[in-house]
Structure 1
Amino acid sequence: MIDKTCESLERAVADIPDGATIMIGGFGNAGMPSSLIDALLAQGARELTIVNNNAGNGETGLAALIREKRVRKMVCSFPRQADSHHFDALYRAGEIELELTPQGNLAERIRAAGAGIGGFFTPTGFGTLLAEGKETRVIDGRNYVFETPIHADFALIKALRGDRWGNLVYRKTARNFGPIMAMAAKTTIAQVVEVVGLGEIDPETVVTPGIFVQRVVREAA
């Protein structure tokens, strides 16, 4: 019997090692798997590479992971905002690396990894510092730069409901990066509000099929 549910958040993240590359879903706080991040903080993994849209907000979630100096490198599109002070301070001190990627490129690089594509040409970033050291090409008279896929060891995502096979549905914009990150990671861990029985999710509404999810765990109350 296939059953991907975990009895605890701690068990779900227990095997994440130091130095892992982890994709974390969310657009700011929308869709951020806060319970899984808290469990990862308690677990203690260090020297992590985190792929996320931004670099944390305030004091909780990803910001707390950065504050505790568990993150070696951030790959993101929006590292600075009014309350991203922990990342800002560490970056200025040279204690954290940054790979800046425009948001569309970030999403497509993640999607490319999940789709098994070796890379793609995009006009975004051509002629800027972001294109330094990358292959460029003129296609139909327009300049393009080559971008490579982003793969991950783990993806931590948040969904509204999941079943024991790992099929997921999301709540509105909390969906954001979750579906493509689930496809791009070796191990996807889904934090859900509710675990439902098989058949309770209409197959026509499934956004992330269970084939891309290895663990399902209920979020903290």
Structure 2
Amino acid sequence: MDKVSPSADDAVADIGDGSSLAVGGFGLSGVPNVLIEALHRHGADRLSVVSNNCGVDGGGLGILLAAGRIARVTGSYVGTNREFARRYLTGELELELVPQGTLAERLRAGGCGIPGFFTPAGVGTQVADGGLPWRYHADGTVALASPPKEVRDFDGRRYVLERGITTDFALVRAARGDRHGNLVFNKAARNFNPLAAMAGRVTIAEVEELVEPGDLGPDEIHLPGVFVRRVVALTPHQAADKAIERRTVRQR
């Protein structure tokens, strides 16, 4: 089955208002920028996003954030995104902060059809006990806080129940991919992209290099095409356009 879409705009055309999205990327590595920009042009609003972080000011998911298109974020890192912090603290955005390893496992579990799992991460904190501010009022008071979660003892150790995550769509970026949707990721881009792709019911992948079926060896494929519905081939310029978060040079 040839899963290649004519363009990024065509690939995201059925993402509607109120959709939930799992979005790949780790910092600025492996961010599906072309698909995010297409979604921005498309105009979908009130989106619920699951991603390790929410981009940077003016880049990645930060573009949708600045446009007021994102209503809720499930993630593990606010970072230096000032607009992200401002919208959260002024009550314009709902945020569920999740330990990074737990977020990765929640995405993987959802993609594997596992509704929940127990983990020691977060036991004894507000992650398990509840009370983390999800949304603020404009005056800074808490409008909505996280509920307490089930905690059980296994072999003398306490564990908290976490739910698997599935989303309506997933947007990911791969270094190489074939027309059947088999994907290969490069280094840090592999941290969250395969997991986000598994969690989405309709997964759209932008690929830096599109190859023909059979060109990828079975042992080098990181994500099989069964998880991918659409593939967008990037131009050489789009594939090479990669930002550096903190450009530093050594003093002479």
Q: Note whether the superposition's TM-score is higher than 0.5.
A: yes
1:38 aligns with 2:37: yes
Give 1:56 shift.
1.9
Measure the CA separation in 2 of the matches of 1:150 and 1:92: 25
Verify the 8 A CA contact 1:190 1:213 in the aligned structure 2. Answer: yes
Measure the CA separation in 1 of the matches of 2:104 and 2:60: 21
Measure the CA separation in 2 of the matches of 1:64 and 1:13: 16
Structural mapping, 1:183-194, within 5 Å: 183-194=198-209
Measure the CA separation in 2 of the matches of 1:212 and 1:55: 23
Aligned residue among 112, 115, 125 for 2:122? 125
Query: Which shows bigger deviation, 88-97 or 54-63?
Result: 54-63
Q: Alpha carbon RMSD of aligned pairs, Å?
A: 1.0
Partner of 1:70: 69
Give the percent of matched residue pairs that are identical in Structure 1 and Structure 2. 50
Count of residues in correspondence between the two structures: 218
1:54 aligns with 2:69: no
The residue matched to 1:182 in structure 2 has which SS? helix
Partner of 1:18: 17
Give 1:200 shift.
1.1
Aligned residue among 213, 222, 232 for 1:207? 222
Verify the 8 A CA contact 2:54 2:60 in the aligned structure 1. Answer: no
Give 1:183 shift.
1.4
The residue matched to 2:109 in structure 1 has which SS? helix
Verify the 8 A CA contact 2:24 2:197 in the aligned structure 1. Answer: no
Unaligned stretches of 5+ residues in structure 1 = none
Structural mapping, 1:76-115, within 5 Å: 76-79=75-78, 81-82=79-80, 84-115=81-112
| Counterpart residue type for residue 108 of structure 1 | E
* Cα displacement string for residues 154-173 of structure 1 (whole angstroms, at most 9, x for unaligned residues): 11000011111111111122
1:161 aligns with 2:176: yes
| Counterpart residue type for residue 185 of structure 1 | G
- TM-score, reference length from structure 2: 0.84
Measure the CA separation in 2 of the matches of 1:204 and 1:142: 38
- TM-score, reference length from structure 1: 0.96
| Counterpart residue type for residue 178 of structure 1 | N
| Counterpart residue type for residue 180 of structure 1 | L
Unaligned stretches of 5+ residues in structure 2 = 131-147, 238-252
Partner of 2:158: 143
The residue matched to 2:22 in structure 1 has which SS? strand
1:178 aligns with 2:189: no
Query: Which shows bigger deviation, 6-15 or 166-175?
Result: 166-175
Measure the CA separation in 2 of the matches of 1:130 and 1:142: 17
Give 1:55 shift.
2.3
| Counterpart residue type for residue 57 of structure 2 | G
Aligned residue among 204, 217, 221 for 2:232? 217
| Counterpart residue type for residue 125 of structure 2 | T
Measure the CA separation in 1 of the matches of 2:199 and 2:17: 20
Give 1:53 shift.
0.5
1:29 aligns with 2:48: no
Verify the 8 A CA contact 2:119 2:162 in the aligned structure 1. Answer: yes
The residue matched to 2:174 in structure 1 has which SS? strand
The residue matched to 1:187 in structure 2 has which SS? strand
Give 1:11 shift.
0.2
Verify the 8 A CA contact 2:31 2:173 in the aligned structure 1. Answer: yes
| Counterpart residue type for residue 176 of structure 1 | N
Give 1:96 shift.
0.2
Give 1:23 shift.
0.6
| Counterpart residue type for residue 196 of structure 2 | M
Measure the CA separation in 2 of the matches of 1:198 and 1:116: 27
